[in-house]
Amino acid sequence: MDLEYQLIIPEFVMAGLAVVIIAAALAFRNVDQKWFGYATAIGLAIIAVITAVAYWDTNDDFGGVLAVDHFTVLFRVFFLGIAFFTVMAAVQFAGERLKNHAEFYGLIVFATLGMMLLAASRELLTAYLSLELLSFSFYILVGFNKLNPFSNEGSLKYMLLGAFSSALMLYGISLIYGVTGSTTYSAIGPDVVEGTRSIAGQLASFAGGSGGVDPDGARPGLLIGLVLITAGLGFKVSAVPFHQWTPDAYQGAPLPITAFLSAGGKAAAFAFFLRLFSEAFLPAAAEWVWFVGILAAVTMIVGNLMALQQTNFKRLMAYSSISQVGYLLVGIVALDAANITQSQDAASALVLHLIGYVTTNIAVFAAIIAFYNRTGRDDIVDLRGLAERQPFLAFAIAAALFSLAGMPLFAGFATKFIIFQAAFNNGFLWLGAIGVTASFVSLYYYLMVIKQMYLYEPEGSDRARFHVSRPLAGALVVLVAGVLFIGLYPTPLFDVIHSSTAGLFEQAAAISAAAVGN
Amino acid sequence: MSDFGFHLAFWSLAAMTIGGASMIVVSRNLIHAVIWLVLSMLGIAGLYLTLSAEFIAVVQVLIYVGAISVLMLFAIMLTPRAERDNSQHIKTAGPAGVVVIMVMIATMWVAIDTDWGAVREAALTEQARLIGESLIKHYILPFEIGAVLLTAALVGAIALARQDDEDAAVHAASLQAELDDDGSVDPVDVVDPPLPTDGEAST
């Protein structure tokens, strides 16, 4: 069998970049650390451009293990962009507050590599190993501020719960393998698996009441496997019963890593979630739609209610990101085995909301990093009077928070609207209603932050105006412009996303066509 | 395969595995518990053999029975003797027991009620070659991701564990601060209070 190695050149180059950055620190001991950061950022930008240009028209498969289609390329560029902005925001912070800079940037690149592979995987073991690469890099990065006890605590909690969730997921994967006899999505997806062991065979017999298979038999392995995989993924995206590590890890991690974790970590896990559930598990939608729906509802409610009580900005953003996970899960619930067009709409809505959320979140964190570089504080009351001291930062944070709350004009409104519309179309009225109500609740705690910035005078000994370093300010301008652009004119982005999600449903479409034929 | 021999092997191995596992929970001495764990894992390796998965059986013996149990023994030997035994009465034993029984019932339900399909039979000698081939042919990419994962983990472990000169200074300062704090309750030091060394000592 010949494998086409040119399909994964960007991944090779990423691994090379990480090693080169780490090795360069050994060779150039006297170079200012910020150049490692800028070198990483430039490398990421070059890889992103090359990936976008060279692979957009590719639609190929790496031995059934990895797919390089529009979806993969979109997410490759997206993850590289996330890493680029994280590194740009991190340079000053890392220089002043962290050590081992080359390892810091190298691990960010390793984590990004894990994300890129995760979004592309079409095989459960590859996906699992990519997820572990991503998670291990994050365990280390969260604890990177090693003289800060919060950082150590957050890292340890994240690692222990992460190991537990990996075990759950592996057990789920082994059950799915046992039931379907394969780990590749294309074979788990029904039409390839032989005979009665296939999900399709079971579904067909379930629907038609014939075929000689007992419809009640042969199910529990599949069901428990799906539950365990969802639980493992729930840990990784921090959906509600599995969210306990999130606030501690977010608070303890160095700020740029909090940004990266909340943006990249979630985006990668959702890319995997979406590909797995739309390619492999869509025909079995009836099995999982109810518990993913409950997960989404609980996550939206608890995330927003817990956020109301927070006084630390990083913890507030942790609970805010949990509630955003709830909205994203609505997109998974809206996948519908019977109606492929609607499923694709739901998938596109999910990806659009993901991109809007990530852009917004990185904007918030870039602004908070700029604030932290000056003050070294991250409680909500410390933001008091920011509009006087640094109007641009206050505007950026306000715009981003309005977007997270889902106000019109900003990204959050358009993307949430489309995702709830997908839920309504699929008959999940109650879920959409919970989502809209939860968004109103979230407006309260975002407005509390904005109130601190705009309605109060600066306090304390340090109330002078201050400057934001140029690379950081430039990154922030681009991000805020992105938030406004997605909010005002999402059509071009949505079209790109829609063309990329089409590939996810080819297999499901073929299966349902075959089912109609029978 | 003679049916009797197979059943004898299966049931004795199953008894060995479950008996070892129960003794882990019962034994008060942690070192004894690890020895029972070794027995239990050997039983599992034997069960793999009865499923004609001889490569996995060998790996099970090499990694779990060999490496991991030795690692556990080292870790136990390095902990203080007083904390070594699990003789305390555990308050949450009741709820934990309920959870374990529920998990067991769910597992049994899954194992018995699912149609797992036929196990494909393979010749005993072929397996290592087949696994090796698929690892460097079809599954080369996951294999390589594993390599990258280990590199990242090693780099990170060194970055976290390495003590730089500056770290040493900060540690010394915090230790000094701790000593100073202790000194304040010591009657000798009340007479002769410690001098504040620097900013670190006051925090």
* Domain coordinates in residue numbering, chain B: 1-87, 124-185
Nearest chain B residue to A115, by CA: B145
pLDDT tens, residue order, chain A (518 aa): 577 888 889 999 999 999 999 999 888 888 888 889 999 999 999 999 999 888 887 788 888 888 888 899 999 999 999 999 999 999 988 888 888 888 999 999 999 999 999 999 999 999 999 999 999 999 999 999 888 889 999 999 999 999 999 999 999 999 888 888 788 888 777 643 333 344 444 444 444 443 334 444 456 788 888 889 999 999 999 998 888 899 999 999 999 999 999 999 999 999 999 999 888 888 777 778 888 999 999 999 999 999 999 999 999 999 999 999 999 999 999 887 778 888 888 999 999 999 999 999 999 999 999 999 888 888 888 888 888 888 899 999 999 999 999 888 888 888 999 999 888 888 888 998 999 999 999 999 999 999 999 998 887 777 788 888 888 899 999 999 999 999 898 899 999 999 888 888 887 777 777 766 65
Rounded to the nearest angstrom, the minimum Cα separation between B147 and chain A is: 10
Q: In whole angstroms, how far apart are CA A463 and each of A374, A377, A384, A457?
A: 11, 14, 10, 9
Determine the pLDDT at residue A290.
86
Q: Which of A110, A122, A124 to mutate to test the interface with B (most CBs of B within 10 A)?
A: A110
CB A382 within 8 A of CB A404: no
All residues of chain A having their beta carbon less than 8 Å from the beta carbon of residue B117 are: 181, 197
Which of B114, B153, B155 lies closest to A221 in CB terms? B114
Contact B159 A103 (CB under 8 A): yes
Q: Which of B135, B136, B148 to mutate to test the interface with A (most CBs of A within 10 A)?
A: B148
What is the CATH topology of the domain spanning B1-87? Answer: Four Helix Bundle (Hemerythrin (Met), subunit A) (1.20.120)
Max mean pLDDT range (A477-491, B75-89, B164-178): A477-491
The sign of the torsion formed by the CA atoms of A263, A264, A269, A274 equals positive
Alpha-carbon distance of A460 to A375, in angstroms, equals 11
Find all residues with CB under 8 Å of A335, minimum gap 6, and list them. A277, A278, A282, A285, A289, A343, A346, A347
- At A227-282, the pLDDT tens digits run 899 999 999 999 988 888 999 999 999 999 999 999 999 999 999 999 998 888 88
Count Cβ atoms below 10 Å from residue B197 Cβ, excluding itself.
14
Which of A125, A136, A197 lies closest to B149 in CB terms? A136
What is the share, in percent, of chain B residues with pLDDT greater than 70? 70
CB A120 within 8 A of CB A68: yes
Closest CA relative to residue B37, chosen from B2, B9, B3, B64: B64
Which run of H or of E encompasses B91? none
Find all residues with CB under 8 Å of A164, minimum gap 6, and list them. A235
Burial A213-241 (b: 16+ CB within 10 A, else e): bebeebbbbbbbbbbbbbbbbbbbbbbbe
Determine the pLDDT at residue B84.
63
Rounded to the nearest angstrom, the minimum Cα separation between B76 and chain A is: 19
Count Cβ atoms below 10 Å from residue A103 Cβ, excluding itself.
26
| Amino acid at the residue A71 | F
All residues of chain B having their beta carbon less than 8 Å from the beta carbon of residue A63 are: 138, 141
Residues in chain B: 203
- Token reading at A123: 């095989």
Reported ipTM: the value is 0.86
Helix (H, G, I), strand (E, B) or coil at A332: helix
At A148, phi and psi to the nearest 5?
A: -100, 115
- Decide the pairing of beta strands A60-62 and A66-68: antiparallel
Q: Which of A21, A26, A133, A197 to mutate to test the interface with B (most CBs of B within 10 A)?
A: A133
Residue B167 pLDDT class (50, 70, 90 cuts) = low
All residues of chain A having their beta carbon less than 8 Å from the beta carbon of residue B157 are: 140
Q: In whole angstroms, how far apart are CA A168 and each of A52, A231, B39, B104?
A: 35, 7, 25, 15
Nearest chain B residue to A177, by CA: B116
Determine the pLDDT at residue B187.
43
Determine the pLDDT at residue B17.
94
Residue B18 pLDDT class (50, 70, 90 cuts) = very high
Find all residues with CB under 8 Å of A497, minimum gap 6, and list them. A74, A348, A351, A352, A355
- At B38-61, the pLDDT tens digits run 999 999 999 998 887 888 899 999
Beta carbon pairs, A and B, within 8 Å: 103
Nearest chain B residue to A133, by CA: B149
Please check the confidence at residue B136 and state whether its pLDDT lies above 50: yes
- Token reading at A279: 């390619």
Which of B106, B152, B158 lies closest to A137 in CB terms? B152
Contact B145 A117 (CB under 8 A): yes
Give how far the C-alpha of residue A162 lies from the chain's centroid of Cα atoms, to the nearest Å.
16
Alpha-carbon distance of A458 to B36, in angstroms, equals 65
Alpha-carbon distance of A491 to A513, in angstroms, equals 30
Which run of H or of E encompasses A226? helix A220-237
Which run of H or of E encompasses A365? helix A340-375
Determine the pLDDT at residue B16.
94
Place of tokens 């602004």: A367
Q: Which of A136, A138, A214 to mutate to test the interface with B (most CBs of B within 10 A)?
A: A136
Strand partners, A184: A123
Rounded to the nearest angstrom, the minimum Cα separation between A261 and chain B is: 17
Please report the DSSP string for A30-48 in residue order: TS-THHHHHHHHHHHHHHH
Determine the pLDDT at residue B202.
40
| Amino acid at the residue A252 | G
